[in-house]
């Protein structure tokens, strides 16, 4: 071997020795310091992420989450200019806490580390210029969201807790999603760890649970809104809206001595049609219908056809990062595995173990408006690169066909009678076909929940479906929920330029 090669070999050996020594120094001698030094870890691991401007979350052309430049060690600070209005949708991206909402779902895209930006990152190595992350454009309509939030806050029952979901029945686009009480995400994104942790602790200990997204992550007894599912099961069993049912002041199911009665003020004659039973919300007729004609198996099968027992995952959220809860009908079985007929009767009026999310309520109404076709809900309309070019759009996907177009049409006839001259008249909108169903749901010893789910159409075209839930609103809750639903649907109509 000649002298130059020997010299190169010696240099390489020395370099490898130094590298090996440094590796041992870092991994052994300095390991504890690196592992326990919070400030060092915070800066070393996170500073690079905060050197790049994070993309915006956008509603109707305006940012509801954005990054502002600071003089802190971490260059960019996350801010939420609308505070509580979009908190449960956009979520928040903190420094040391766990992210939630769209901030978590689209973290890689917003931060600019998604595979979509591989070419941009490669170019940065040569230019030294860092481009911001991508923007996420939501399907939310500002007018719908603002109306839902305002109406929930100012509801006449005085309840602080509630939720609204509004969506486009033909596409699945979420037009509004509000949960109250809400919270201001900005303190949670503070660069000061103590400030962020204190803000989280205060919210976490609040008995009204402002961090909980009641629109999608919690289930509630639906009360009489569940009669829409019972009606669908009856229609599929061969009944029609004009089939005569037995009603009356009370009904005692087999195997029990406890009668089911109608809500105060409900006049339910001894005989009435299925359509009128839904219109006046006759408990006795639906309890008897479920036990004597529908049955537990058909009821559960119909509920599953509308999406019960499975989380209605959003587009781009196969891992359920948005924490969507499944709705359930309950077992409806006795100790020996036989059908519990008293439980079935109670389930048919939306009590016992029946639980739904407001999202599920909106999807029920949307499916009926959309001729029985249920679309997958989505919150993200488009993804924009740093140059504002669209690099991704929502996948508008059919989830299932819950009922036939004929049954869907019969259900619309029945639900529109509820709004035209039944318990849901507060949801009427001049010039539009509005259908819906009210609900008052018992909640143990606490005040009742108030519900409304429904839709609005124009010349046979579905425009919006909505569900409103006022938690423990008590007397007048369902009427107030109906009023709110009407305002939200009207806002969606105006947002579409139809009024």
Retrieve residue 67's tokens: 């990054």
Radius of gyration (Cα) for the chain, nearest Å?
Answer: 28
Cα distance between residue 444 and residue 160, in whole Å: 19
What phi and psi values does residue 145 have, to the nearest 5 degrees? Answer: -60, -45
Whether 347 is catalytic is no
Q: Please answer whether residues 422 and 277 qualify as being in contact, where contact means their C-beta atoms are separated by less than 8 angstroms.
A: no
3-state secondary structure of 485: helix
Q: Please answer whether residues 268 and 283 qualify as being in contact, where contact means their C-beta atoms are separated by less than 8 angstroms.
A: yes
Retrieve residue 331's tokens: 């077992």
Q: Please answer whether residues 386 and 133 qualify as being in contact, where contact means their C-beta atoms are separated by less than 8 angstroms.
A: yes
Residues in contact with 122: Cβ distance below 8 Å, sequence separation at least 6, in sequence order: none
Q: Please answer whether residues 376 and 312 qualify as being in contact, where contact means their C-beta atoms are separated by less than 8 angstroms.
A: yes
3-state secondary structure of 186: helix
Which residue has tokens 């019969």? Answer: 410
Q: Please answer whether residues 413 and 450 qualify as being in contact, where contact means their C-beta atoms are separated by less than 8 angstroms.
A: no
Give the C-alpha distances (Å, rounded to integers) separating 80 from 42, 146, 184, 188: 23, 15, 8, 10
Q: Please answer whether residues 211 and 183 qualify as being in contact, where contact means their C-beta atoms are separated by less than 8 angstroms.
A: yes
Phi-psi region of 100 (alpha: psi -120 to 50; beta: other; left: phi over 0): beta
Say which of 67, 224, 347, 478 is annotated catalytic.
Answer: 224
Residues in contact with 232: Cβ distance below 8 Å, sequence separation at least 6, in sequence order: 302, 306, 402, 403, 407, 411
Cα distance between residue 256 and residue 243, in whole Å: 27
Give the C-alpha distances (Å, rounded to integers) separating 360 from 199, 350, 465: 31, 14, 11
Catalytic residues, by residue number, are 224
């Amino acid at each position: 071997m000649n002298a130059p090669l020997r010299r190169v070999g010696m240099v390489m050996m020395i370099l490898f020795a130094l590298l090996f020594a440094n590796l041992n120094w870092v991994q052994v001698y300095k390991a504890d310091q690196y592992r326990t030094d919070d400030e060092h870890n915070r800066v070393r691991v996170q500073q690079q992420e905060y050197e790049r401007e994070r993309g915006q979350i956008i509603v109707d052309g305006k940012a509801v989450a954005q990054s502002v430049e600071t003089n802190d060690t971490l260059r960019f600070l996350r801010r939420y200019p609308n505070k509580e209005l979009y908190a449960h949708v956009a979520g928040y991206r903190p420094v040391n806490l766990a992210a939630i909402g769209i901030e978590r779902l689209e973290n890689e895209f917003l931060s600019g580390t998604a595979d979509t930006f591989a070419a941009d990152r490669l170019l940065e190595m040569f230019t030294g210029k860092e481009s911001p992350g991508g923007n996420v454009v939501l399907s939310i309509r500002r007018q719908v969201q603002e109306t839902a939030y305002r109406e929930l806050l100012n509801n006449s029952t005085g309840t602080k807790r509630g939720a609204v979901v509004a969506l486009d029945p033909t596409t699945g686009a979420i037009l509004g999603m509000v949960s109250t009480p809400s919270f201001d995400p900005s303190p949670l994104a503070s660069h000061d760890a103590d400030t962020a942790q204190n803000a989280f602790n205060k919210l976490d200990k609040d008995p009204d649970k402002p961090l909980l997204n009641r629109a999608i992550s919690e289930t509630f007894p639906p009360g009489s809104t569940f009669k829409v599912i019972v009606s669908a099961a009856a229609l599929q069993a061969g009944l029609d809206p004009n089939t005569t049912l037995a009603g009356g002041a009370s009904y005692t199911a087999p195997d029990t001595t406890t009668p089911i009665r109608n809500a105060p003020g409900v006049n339910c004659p001894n005989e009435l049609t299925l359509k009128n039973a839904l219109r006046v919300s006759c408990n006795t007729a639906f309890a008897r219908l479920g036990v004597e004609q529908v049955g537990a198996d058909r009821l559960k099968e119909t509920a599953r056809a509308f999406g019960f027992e499975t989380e209605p995952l959003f587009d781009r959220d196969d891992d359920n990062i948005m924490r969507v809860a499944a709705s359930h009908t309950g077992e409806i079985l006795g100790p020996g595995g036989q059908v519990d007929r008293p439980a079935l009767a109670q389930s048919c009026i939306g009590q016992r173990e029946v639980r739904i999310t407001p999202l599920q309520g909106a999807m029920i109404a949307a499916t009926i408006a959309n001729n029985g076709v249920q679309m997958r809900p989505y919150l993200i309309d488009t993804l924009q690169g740093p140059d504002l070019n669209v690099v991704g759009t929502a996948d508008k996907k059919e989830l299932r066909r819950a009922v036939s177009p004929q049954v869907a049409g019969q259900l619309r006839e029945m639900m529109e009678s509820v709004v035209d001259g039944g318990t849901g008249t507060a949801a009427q909108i001049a010039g539009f076909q509005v259908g819906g169903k009210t609900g008052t749901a018992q909640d143990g010893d606490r005040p009742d929940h108030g519900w409304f789910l429904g839709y609005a159409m124009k010349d046979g075209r579905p425009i919006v479906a909505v569900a409103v839930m006022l938690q423990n609103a008590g007397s007048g809750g369902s009427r107030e929920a109906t009023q709110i639903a009407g305002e939200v649907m009207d806002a969606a109509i105006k947002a579409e330029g139809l009024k």
